[in-house]
Amino acid sequence: MRTAILLILLFLLLPLQAQQPISPQKDVNGNFSFQVGDVYFQVNPKHGARIDSYKLKEFEFLYLEKHSGIEDMVGSTAWISPQTLWGWPPQAIIDTEPYSGGISGNTVVLTSGTASANNSLKFQIRKTFSADLQDSSVSIKYTIINKSSDSRSFASWEIMRVPTGGLSFFPINGTVSGKLEPAFVVQEGIAWWDYDSTKNIFEKAFADGKDGWLAHVDNRRIIHIKKFVDSPSNFPSNSEKEIEFWANDKRYYNEIEKHSEYKSIPANDSATLSVTWFLRKLPETISVSKGNPDLLDYVSGIVNPIQSSVNSDLSRKPLFAYSNSAAAEIKFTGLEEGIQYNFFLYNVIGEKVLEKEVLSGETVLTHSLKNGVYIYRIQSHEKIYTGKISLRTF
């Protein structure tokens, strides 16, 4: 039987593709989880709806160890922002006590009891979790509900704890501030924090993000990418900004934090922070180093597939593939004639599935590839192209 396979740049295909939601599971301990390919994600409703596992295969990405005096500083959670509304510690009813709710369709929806803060502020936190097999992502909505009798100003705040080490980076608008600021280097609009070269500097760093993402690569080359809607850093003081980091002086963990827009919320209305998490194994061909454009291209190919190509002339030219009964082949079009390129293809968790030296018009066998979304990298001595492509058999 003759089959045809069409690979086309994702910006042409995405409007035709629907998400592939994953059904959540509930275990015997009451935890809710999603298994998205090789990514495992778990929420504990009995412990403040805390995210207490986030794995790529057997590798746990979150910090989960418990040490004296900071036993509860583990996993990922959400608070109301700014911190001046409540001081320290966070209210137990939203941070450590059980949340109500459960599975609703393909989502998990969990809601706290009502917490009290300064100046008679009352609020609840609702957390909504879902997952998508199409890109192996997990989406989270943190909704802060104003239960006061009048309007109040606040924002929603995600706090993710990861083991110390690795490289954090994000597009920045302006400069980094706070006691942790000397640990950061800003190059061409990207802020970089290499923990292992600055591990004697602690406390907090604040920044106004740009372009709606931040990333962290740990020392095992596992990369977490957080995608969100960019929001203004309009807090009433410099106590908070859109993006925040915190380094633990005992060198156990770092915090990677995101705030939503600070604004006035009417009674019984809410502020929501929506984030999408991606977890991948970084390809071995990409160096984990400050200022590396290949690392930025890789992230861009995941969060902005429509705009992912460097020298984007290729991004307007689809890649076609065809096959017959004996073999499937990718035929490359849009490459400069007479130039040799190295072509790499990765699955959505960062595993290399194909590598080949190619010329424009050349073909590559693809009979071993399954339908799905892949990340491509095509490079010559002078140009690099990255992005997403989708393979379908029809």
Q: Give the domain range for residue 379.
A: 5-11+309-393
Quick check: 121 pLDDT over 80? yes
The per-residue pLDDT for range 226-250, each reduced to its tens digit, is 999 999 999 987 779 999 999 988 8
Spatial separation of the C-alpha atoms in residues 90 and 84, rounded to whole Å: 11
Indicate if 268 and 324 belong to the same structural domain: no
Q: Is residue 349 part of a domain?
A: yes
Q: Provide the residue count of the chain.
A: 394
Q: Is residue 24 part of a domain?
A: no
Q: Residues 292-314: what's their mean pLDDT?
A: 67
Q: Percentages helix, strand, coil for the chain, rounded to the nearest 5?
A: 10, 45, 45
Specify the DSSP class assigned to residue 355.
E
Spatial separation of the C-alpha atoms in residues 382 and 35, rounded to whole Å: 40
Cα 51–55–61 angle (5° rounding)? 75
CATH number at residue 140: 2.70.98.10
Indicate if 90 and 225 belong to the same structural domain: yes
Identify whether the C-beta of residue 261 lies closer than 8 Å to the C-beta of residue 153. Answer: no
Indicate if 47 and 106 belong to the same structural domain: yes
In the three-class reduction of DSSP (H, G, I as helix; E, B as strand; rest coil), residue 124 is classed as strand
Indicate if 72 and 131 belong to the same structural domain: yes
The per-residue pLDDT for range 248-285, each reduced to its tens digit, is 888 899 999 999 999 999 999 999 999 999 999 998 88
Query: Can you give the pLDDT at residue 348?
Result: 73
Indicate if 236 and 338 belong to the same structural domain: no
- Band of pLDDT at residue 332, cut at 50, 70 and 90: low
Residue 310 CB partners (closer than 8 Å, separation 6+): 293, 297, 383, 384, 385, 386
**Number of independent structural domains in the chain:** 2
Quick check: 352 pLDDT over 90? no
Spatial separation of the C-alpha atoms in residues 22 and 38, rounded to whole Å: 13
Q: Residues 183-193: what's their mean pLDDT?
A: 97
Query: Can you give the pLDDT at residue 1?
Result: 34
Q: Is residue 209 part of a domain?
A: yes
Query: 391 vs 145, which has greater pLDDT?
Result: 145
Listing DSSP states for 243-296 in one string gives EEEEE-TTSSEEEEEEE---EEE-TT-EEEEEEEEEEEEPPTTS---TT-HHHH
Identify whether the C-beta of residue 62 lies closer than 8 Å to the C-beta of residue 52. Answer: yes
Query: Can you give the pLDDT at residue 372?
Result: 72
Q: Is residue 289 part of a domain?
A: no
